[in-house]
Amino acid sequence: MPKEIDLTEDTVRLGDGWGIAAGGESPSVRDLYSKSLSVPVQDRPRKIIFSRADVPPEGYELEICKERIEVRASDDRGYVNALRTMKQLANGDELPTGRVRDRPSLSLRGFHVNFDSYVQMKADDAKNLIKAAANMKLNAILLEYGPRFPFRKHSAIRSPSALTVEEVREVVGFAAENHVEVIPLQQSIGHLRYLLAHDDYEDIREPPSDYYTVEGKPYALDQVCPMNPRSFEVITDLMAEVIELHPGSKFFHIGADEARQLGMCAKCRAEEAKKGKAGVYLNLVNRVCEWLHERGRTPILWDDILCAHPEALKDLNRNAWLMYWDYWTVSDPSPRVVARGTRSAGYDRRWLGEWLDELPARWLPSILEGARRAGGRSFEEELGPKYLSYFKRYLGGGFPKYLRAFPYIEFYQDNGFQVIAAPTAIGDGELWHGLPNFARFVPNIRAFARRCIENGKVPGLITTAWYNYPPEILYLGLVATAKFTWE
């Protein structure tokens, strides 16, 4: 919904006698209007006029009159967003007269198109999602391939359902045509089973922790050794090929989440003894970030390992941006915090006792489960002194009962890093009537977007989507992302 809209009951019909006049827009914008509205680029009595105006980036002013339509914006994306609003207002070739003033609330508004998880998703499915995202005024996609990228140098790791080079170019080009920025993602340390399952990469496997063993046998070899020089060589080989097919991308996401096997091999244990797990992690992550920076890309990484080891932030490559993911918080204030690096279940046990009468009904199922897992301990005991020394001042004045939602936004900013929010449309496998738990995921998107807007310094938000579902199920999360990042 536009921020300001004042329409009349009168209408105007586009067609004969209408033309598009040159103005402050680019030729590609003119052509897009002509194609979308079936109006020629000609000087005619009734005109669509473009002019530059002092409005926020991607914002626009739209005035629809009987004899003219004037579109004012400060950039081409603003003109394109005005066109999308016109298409939403149209009934065939008929438009209501009136005025619209509009602008986004967040500058980066994106969605996760995940070929790795959605193994049945074809290039055409991705293009349909991109088109829907563009129509809803989203301006970015996080494009993750996993083994479905058409790797050449390391071709053995390709999935049977890998895209072709031509299909990747087609998807990337289609996004550009629709004014949607592509942020490619290639994992750099964990979630690399598709690579490490091959014996050619046995030398860079990090031995699995107890978490990843059954009866002493590994069942998830998915992390490279951060101290092995060949790990960097292989990962940057993969990234170089991804960059080649995404020549216009300003950002590159390196993943780097859920590295649960840090410090397992002899080299990593020795490094951990000197620099801690954070030092082991950064040995690879910082090199990858610098490698990308040298190639004109801004590296992005998931925040969870840095949240679990906040001492690492002082040594993290300063070119990196953090993508802060939290799939559980649904309100502000919140009774829950995602406390990385602790054993906390996220809730205080007292919600089952002295605070029970204050418990809102909508929180009941998740709080009861989390509070039971807390084992009778208070939040202060659960979180521990290290966590509280770093984060307590960011949890808000209502701690330990009501916490400031998404508290790490300001923590990362105070440490000098840009933050992109990452709620989820399909997150942790939780089901609701056999479907992804949209009853939780949509409020998660809304709450995160509102906190980002309130903060005023967050560049934007990209909603993630995991697990292997039919791609059609993604549209609800996509629409929710568009709604809450624009309002």
In this prediction, residue 211 has a pLDDT band, given cuts at 50, 70 and 90, of low
Residue 184: φ, ψ to 5°: -75, 150
Per-residue pLDDT, averaged over 69-77, amounts to: 95
Confidence of residue 214 (pLDDT cuts 50, 70, 90): low
Confidence bin at 369 (pLDDT 50/70/90): low
Query: Hey, what are 123's tokens?
Result: 């290039």
Query: What's the pLDDT at 215?
Result: 58
Task: Please report the pLDDT score of residue 193 as a whole number.
Answer: 93
Lowest mean pLDDT among 179-188, 200-209, 450-459: 200-209
273-308 per-position pLDDT tens digit: 999 999 999 999 999 999 999 999 999 999 999 999
Does the pLDDT value for residue 432 go beyond 70? yes
pLDDT surpasses 80 at 431: no
* Residues 389-402, mean pLDDT to the nearest whole number: 94
pLDDT score of 366 more than 70 = no
- Cα–Cα distances in Å, from 343 out to 388, 390, 400, 402, 487? 13, 16, 16, 19, 37
Place of tokens 């697990």: 467
pLDDT above 90: residue 245: yes
Asked if pLDDT for residue 76 goes beyond 90, the answer is: yes
State how far the alpha carbon of 156 is from the alpha carbons of 199, 200, 236, in Å.
Answer: 11, 9, 16
Q: Is the pLDDT of residue 373 over 90?
A: no
pLDDT band at 146 (very low <50, low <70, confident <90, very high): very high
Please tell me the predicted confidence (pLDDT) of residue 342. 82
Q: Is the pLDDT of residue 375 over 60?
A: no
Query: Across residues 36-44, what is the average pLDDT?
Result: 91
- Spatial contact of 245 and 152, defined as CB atoms under 8 Å apart: no
Query: In this prediction, what percent of the chain has a pLDDT beyond 90?
Result: 77
Burial-class residue 5 by CB neighbours within 10 Å (0-12, 13-18, 19+).
middle
Say what the pLDDT of residue 368 is.
65
Q: In angstroms, what CA-CA distances link 204 with 151, 211, 222, 277?
A: 19, 19, 10, 18
| In the chain, domain spans | 4-102, 108-332+405-486
Q: What percentage of the chain carries pLDDT values higher than 70?
A: 94
Residue 347 binned pLDDT confidence (cut-offs 50, 70, 90): confident
Band of residue 348 on the pLDDT scale cut at 50, 70, 90: confident
| Confidence band for 117, pLDDT divided at 50, 70 and 90 | very high
- Residue 209's pLDDT band, with cuts at 50, 70 and 90, is low
The domain defined by 4-102 folds into Chitobiase; domain 2 (3.30.379)
Note whether 139 and 181 are within 8 A (CB).
yes
The secondary structure of the chain, three-state, reads CCCEEEEEEEEEECCCCEEECCCCCCHHHHHHHHHHHCCCCCCCCEEEEEEECCCCCCCEEEEECCCEEEEEECCHHHHHHHHHHHHHHCECCEEEEEEEEECCCCCEEEEEEECCCCCCCCHHHHHHHHHHHHHCCCCEEEEECHHHCCCCCCHHHCCCCCCCHHHHHHHHHHHHHCCCEEEEECCCCCCCHHHHCCHHHHHHECCCCHHHEECCEECCCCCECCCCHHHHHHHHHHHHHHHHCCCCCCEEECCCCCCCCCCCCHHHHHHHHHHHHHHHHHHHHHHHHHHHHHCCCEEEEECHHHHHCHHHHHHCCCCCEEEEECCCCCCCCECCCCCCCCCCCCCCHHHHCCCHHHCCHHHHHHHHHHHHHCCCCCHHHHHHHHHHHHHHHHCCCCCCCCECCCCHHHHHHHCCCCEEEECEEECCCCEECCEECHHHHHHHHHHHHHHHHHHCCCCEEEEEECCCCCHHHHHHHHHHHHHHHHC
CB neighbour burial string for 258-273, b if at least 16 within 10 angstroms, e if fewer: ebbbbbbbebbeebbe
* Confidence grade of residue 351 (pLDDT, cut at 50, 70, 90): confident
- Given pLDDT bands bounded at 50, 70 and 90, which one contains residue 382? confident
- 266-294 vs 229-244: helix crossing angle, rounded to 10: 30
What's the rounded mean pLDDT across residues 262-280? Answer: 94
Question: Is residue 94 pLDDT above 70, yes or no?
Answer: yes
Pick from 148, 211, 155, 217: nearest CA to 185: 148
For domain 108-332+405-486, the CATH architecture is Alpha-Beta Barrel (3.20)
pLDDT of residue 312 exceeding 90: yes
Q: Calculate mean pLDDT across residues 38-65.
A: 94
Mean pLDDT, residues 153-171 taken together: 98
- Average model confidence (pLDDT) for the chain? 92
Residue 400, preceding peptide bond in cis (omega within 30° of 0):
yes
Counting beta carbons within 10 angstroms of the beta carbon of residue 155, is it exposed (0 to 12), middle (13 to 18) or buried (19 or more)?
A: exposed
Q: Which residue has the higher pLDDT, 461 or 354?
A: 461
pLDDT at position 165 over 90: yes
For the residues 466-470, what does the mean pLDDT come to? Answer: 92
How does pLDDT run across 1-38, given as a tens digit for each residue?
A: 789 999 999 999 998 789 998 777 788 899 999 999 99
- What are the tokens at 75? 């950039």
